[in-house]
Structure 1
Amino acid sequence: MPQIEVHISSLIVHVVPEHMDAVKAQISQIDNAEIYGESPEGKLVVVLETQTHGFITDVIEKITNFAHVVSTVMVYHQIETELDDCEQNTGTQHSQVEGEA
């Protein structure tokens, strides 16, 4: 039986505060991306749920290139694997903090 992977990642996106609404609108157009929080200082918490790691890196690059985005950093990445209906695997977790979020 083929193994199915689900990649769950969270990103901190630092935005110029007065352009927060425009950047949020752009992020909301990305498939499998949800904004889970924001701060008045211009920081967004974005969660991605995908089937490949490549999608995550593509989204990070895309968001980083949006106008008025200062930085985009992945702060959490978990891979859930499902072998079959009877066997449970809790997956692996990878957490990384780069600089101040």
Structure 2
Amino acid sequence: MSLNEVHISSLVVHVSPEHLNDIKPQIEAFENAEIYGDSPEGKIIVVLETKNQGFITDTIDAINNLPNVLSTVLVYHQIETEVDEDESDSKNTGIEYSQTEGEA
């Protein structure tokens, strides 16, 4: 039996408004990162879907270190866990668990 996790996180990235169109393609270049919206004030909503939490923190650090990024904040993190039964078992009775973490 093994655990398969999917981490779904959302971030708010605040950039200098005049650099919004320069930063967006740089964020989209990150694996598993998708932009869901932005505002003229320079705020970008980013959603990450990953298999481990380490990728989330690494991505936040990398985005925060991009030129003209003022801040990157994790606002939502959910962990979806599915238990896979032994491969030799003919019936798959996987159980799904969900855990949501509050605002960071």
Q: For residue 74 of structure 1, what is the aligned residue in structure 2?
A: 74
* Separation in structure 2 between the aligned mates of residue 79 and residue 94 of structure 1, nearest angstrom: 8
TM-score by length of 1: 0.91
Q: For residue 87 of structure 1, what is the aligned residue in structure 2?
A: 94
Q: Which has the higher strand share?
A: 2
Q: For residue 57 of structure 1, what is the aligned residue in structure 2?
A: 57
TM-aligned CA deviation for residue 45 of structure 1: 0.3
Matches within 5 A, 1:36-51: 36-51=36-51
Number of positions where the alignment pairs a residue of Structure 1 with one of Structure 2: 97
TM-aligned CA deviation for residue 71 of structure 1: 0.1
Q: For residue 88 of structure 2, what is the aligned residue in structure 1?
A: none
Unaligned runs of 5+ in 2: 85-91
Q: Single out whichever of 84-93 and 71-80 deviates more from structure 2.
A: 84-93
Instruction: Kindly provide the amino acid, as one letter, of the partner of residue 81 in structure 1.
Output: T
RMSD: 1.1
Q: For residue 31 of structure 1, what is the aligned residue in structure 2?
A: 31
TM-aligned CA deviation for residue 28 of structure 1: 1.0
**1:51-71 CA distances to partner (integer Å, 9 max, x unpaired)?**
010000000000000000000
Instruction: Kindly provide the amino acid, as one letter, of the partner of residue 32 in structure 1.
Output: N
SS of match in other structure, 1:66: coil
* Separation in structure 2 between the aligned mates of residue 61 and residue 9 of structure 1, nearest angstrom: 14
SS of match in other structure, 1:58: helix
